Chains A and B, each alone.
Chain A
């Protein structure tokens, strides 16, 4: 049953984020703001070597230092392998990490932990720990990792939870293969074949709040942890298993999170806080330095992707073959699932092929580990696919926009890939009930002036403007795996407490869930008192990942609100001695013929006067499909032909994310994603030295976009309605990040004739290409 969008009063209407003002005013709301005043401060001794075995470690001097409360090495912590990934159960990531280990596998890996009265003492103590390393030969080039004589995980006790292609002795964290039809046969039949290989870098999340957690024991001697996390419930489960504690002994509270983007799906320090507080009985805290965020948390998976595409002269694409190699660094967090998304949320864009193949390996190296990051494989795949589509269009002598229109996904169509590929497992078949991609392509072209401008416009002898495009898709949660839930409780006076496990990490989920509930209960957002998320107080939610919050948690909230509405009508009917079907509710007053009662009175009666009881509802939701949002993106770049420098003058997007629950927040998600994607496409270079030291480990060496680089973003939304979504909504958290690498690559090529096959697309690479063209 489709809701008439025109009748919506809160959803799809401009609504200010409910916490924006308080945050601007500086309220204490983030993890470290809430640490106990007298917390022990935890610091980590980190490996100076890319790969080494700890021959001996002597902490006696550190322990003697005045003010040191606890020093831990691998000898002092449970030797239980786990995955930091912060996923559901069983995890599709290998259990290949120990809290502390006798091997260190990248520069920055944890060697020992110190907890002391303050930061200075803790840092002083780190210097007193004597470690003797046997330095091993590191693997620093992921293309040589497979079956390398250096084995990064030679240890016992590591495992996969179900078959993911885990072969540690070959440095393989995961592997995957799939094929629909016969790709080689279809390629052989094709009039034109293109074969291109692209490289993408280990982008850093660079959220402004660094990883932070703190712990204390409550009056019941339970462990209470505040964590800047996207996944409080997974944290609780994984910590209980790894430390051998009952789940009931642990409470995780997620306060305001200062940006996550996938980086805070995983464990970063929580285990050390827990161990410190359990062993000393004292509160503790660990706040990562910026350098630790860059060099010792995790990054996007760098990849090499080879795309082969075959097409007929008329532009019909026959077959796509995508071979990938992914570098998961020292540990295999999200290794398989990110890898599969390269195929599963990219290749279905061209669903009319006769054959499609995807596969390859995720290898270990001695780099900073890789993990979840907004886009989650789709951005890497999109860069390779959408740049190759442009190359194919040129070979065919076609406008790449026309080639895309001809071959891309349309409403009511499907792709066999949906059924084959899921999140580390089999997928779920689905039909595109909402897909306005053709409109997005058409409208975006109008906004950028494609017909008039493509491929290039000369500005002067040294300046030229180039125009490029790409299309993208993502998903909305993981079907049959991601679950969200919502409780609604009626207060006296008629306000509602809404508690959700959904984790607001800045994307605005508290606001949009409040909007959903307010819309259904015909009240205003300020009458909804929302709280997220606390494993003691809020119902379960898988967490903020996989573009699941609006769709999964939003659906749970909608379901709960619908139930609450039904329940209130039933209660009011009883109160009025009427049948429920005769009672109308307008959000404030229940009316039946000549009788009425206000919600205000009814709610007070239930708590103080008559038929005393608490009215509350809890509902859960999990997806049966994962409806993809779609996007068409275009850019105008201006290139200085003498220096290779360029500016992105305008970035146009038209997005189909179904109903925008909160149009301003949706735009914020799209534009925030675009700017992060532009960072990856243009500026964010990851550099190591020959020994495996990360050089780009601060904001002076790793350049995220600033106000001076972003000129104009033009963002529109297609009129679309997803029948399975809350009020017609699909996800919008990740789709924004997917297109910039391909769009900028295509635009730069159209401006200059230089095709950059490895990210970021720097002026230096462009100038080098221009010089080669002149030869």
Chain B
């Protein structure tokens, strides 16, 4: 079936199977920034934004996003670079597999909640697993990014 949606503000139409998931569709069309870590909506690596809301794309049927706006990390390159700066400042980046998902979830957090409390930040990012870092460094980096004007 043909599904038409906006990928980083550009309209695209992909011919997909009705049971195809968004992470699969995007990766097979060359959007390799979408990382699949568990393919069962638990690890958060495949997080991207659908209509500005972070979702795990491994579990969103492509058929369901007709007409919607999808943002991958390619659509927020400048913000991703800023987040990366703070990750590097805190020594929070290691293998990087979870990072694109983090960039999107943190970007969405910044837009959704102004001056979030620590509890709100943790609640927002807890669905993104990281096995490399001590997590605290990530949290500190994210706090620093959120403080940026």
User: Is there a direct interface between A and B, measured as CB atoms under 8 Å apart in the complex?
Assistant: yes
Among the listed stretches B60-68, B77-85, B108-116, which one makes contact with chain A, having 4 or more residues with CB under 8 Å of it? B77-85
Most buried by B among A27, A208, A256, A704: A208
Among the listed stretches A176-184, A237-245, A670-678, which one makes contact with chain B, having 4 or more residues with CB under 8 Å of it? A670-678
Closest partner residue, chain B, to A290 (CB atom): B38
A593 within 8 A of B: no
Question: Do A706 and B129 touch (CB < 8 A)?
Answer: yes
A17 contact set on B, CB distance < 8 A: 88, 93
Chain A facing B: main interface SS: loop
Closest partner residue, chain B, to A27 (CB atom): B33
B35 contact set on A, CB distance < 8 A: 30, 208-209, 258
A210→B85 CA distance, assembly (Å): 27
Contact of B94 among A508, A704, A706 (CB under 8 A): A508
- Nearest Cβ in chain A — how far from B56, in angstroms? 12
Q: Considering only CB atoms and an 8 Å cut-off, how many residues of chain A contact the other chain?
A: 56
Question: Do A667 and B39 touch (CB < 8 A)?
Answer: no
Closest partner residue, chain A, to B17 (CB atom): A120
* A 483-527 binary contact with B (CB < 8 Å = 1; else 0): 000000000000000000000011110000000000000000000
Q: Tell me whether A259 and B94 are in contact in the complex, defined as CB-CB below 8 angstroms, given that A26-B100, A710-B136 are known contacts.
A: yes
Question: Do B39 and A506 touch (CB < 8 A)?
Answer: no
B134 contact set on A, CB distance < 8 A: 667-668, 670-672, 674-675, 710, 713, 715
* B 45-66 binary contact with A (CB < 8 Å = 1; else 0): 1000000000000000000000
Q: Tell me whether A24 and B95 are in contact in the complex, defined as CB-CB below 8 angstroms, given that A259-B132, A706-B129, A707-B122 are known contacts.
A: no
Closest partner residue, chain A, to B81 (CB atom): A21
Question: Do A290 and B37 touch (CB < 8 A)?
Answer: yes
Q: Tell me whether A209 and B93 are in contact in the complex, defined as CB-CB below 8 angstroms, given that A17-B88, A25-B77, A290-B40 are known contacts.
A: no
- Nearest Cβ in chain B — how far from A667, in angstroms? 5
Question: Do A24 and B122 touch (CB < 8 A)?
Answer: no
Question: Do B91 and A668 touch (CB < 8 A)?
Answer: yes
A61 within 8 A of B: no
B133 contact set on A, CB distance < 8 A: 668, 671-672, 675
Chain B facing A: main interface SS: loop
B18 within 8 A of A: no
A257→B131 CA distance, assembly (Å): 13
Contact of A699 among B38, B80, B90, B91 (CB under 8 A): B38
Question: Do B96 and A23 touch (CB < 8 A)?
Answer: yes
B125 contact set on A, CB distance < 8 A: 707
- Nearest Cβ in chain B — how far from A674, in angstroms? 6
B137 contact set on A, CB distance < 8 A: 667-668, 671
CB-CB nearest 8 A-B residue pairs: A671-B134, A26-B33, A506-B95, A664-B91, A23-B96, A258-B97, A16-B88, A24-B84
Can you spell out 30 A-B residue pairs with CB atoms less than 8 angstroms apart?
Answer: A20-B87, A21-B84, A24-B73, A24-B80, A24-B84, A24-B87, A26-B100, A28-B32, A208-B35, A208-B37, A208-B43, A208-B45, A208-B95, A208-B129, A258-B96, A260-B95, A261-B131, A290-B40, A506-B94, A507-B94, A664-B89, A672-B94, A672-B132, A675-B135, A676-B131, A699-B43, A704-B131, A705-B135, A706-B135, A707-B138
Knowing that A209-B95, A667-B137 are A-B contacts, what are 18 other residue pairs whose CB atoms are under 8 Å apart, sorted by A's residue number? A16-B85, A24-B80, A24-B96, A24-B102, A27-B33, A208-B98, A208-B131, A505-B95, A506-B132, A507-B94, A664-B89, A668-B133, A668-B134, A670-B134, A672-B131, A707-B138, A707-B139, A708-B126
